[in-house]
Amino acid sequence: MDRDRMKAAAAVAAVDEVVSGMVLGLGTGSTAAHAVREIGLRLEDGRLANVSGVPTSIATEELSRQVGIPLIDPGSASIDLAIDGADEIAPDLALTKGGGGALLREKVIAAAATRFAVISDDSKLVQALGSTFDIPVEIAQFGLGITLVALSELGSPQLRGGDDPFVSDNGNYIVDLAVAPIGVPAAFDRALQAIPGVLATGLFVGIAHVAYVAGAAGVRRIDALGSG
């Protein structure tokens, strides 16, 4: 099974948690797109009804409309379940996210959801965050140089896009922060958030309830401690 098929299998497993009447947080990226398409398919064939979504990016909004998922504004109803991918998944389900540049919106929706399900293939499993992927950090454009200096105290920051910076859907820049494997992600996240120019970090700690991780042998479910 190739990686894309693994991602699709994990997405199907997560969408099995969706029941009619739910409000869903819809993630961003290639893996989350599989879940969005699966939800649309189930709405079309009648397996689901009266489901609405809150997208985490303009791209996800466009895809959701294409597959027929009704959308609502954030805050207009409580979110029952958010489904999204991850760039790294630690054993306790702490995550690195933001490879697609939607980390601020993704974190807002994931944190607001009653339940947050992560989907991935098994290449994303790590023992410590920062081992295989730089930590994305969404920052204000104002004071860029000051923020980069502050971030350099915690790692090696690179402005995504370089001389032609990537701009998020929120009008902000993304910095990819190369770090040594992180021993205590919650503490590192607090240190990042203490920098005034930082608006959101790609460290999602204590937010995910379950992960559906696909590999050659099939999809494995990993529950966060205390979740089920």
Active centre residues (catalytic):
106
**Exposed (0-12), middle (13-18) or buried (19+): which is 200, by Cβ within 10 Å?**
buried
When computed from its CA atoms, the radius of gyration of the chain, rounded to whole angstroms, is 17
**Alpha-carbon gap, residue 85 to 29, rounded angstroms:** 7
Query: What phi, psi does 134 have (nearest 5°)?
Result: -65, 155
**Exposed (0-12), middle (13-18) or buried (19+): which is 131, by Cβ within 10 Å?**
middle
Tokens of residue 186, six digits: 């919650």
**CA atoms in the 13 A half-sphere facing the CB of 206:** 5
**Alpha-carbon gap, residue 186 to 18, rounded angstroms:** 30
Tokens 């021993």 locate to 183
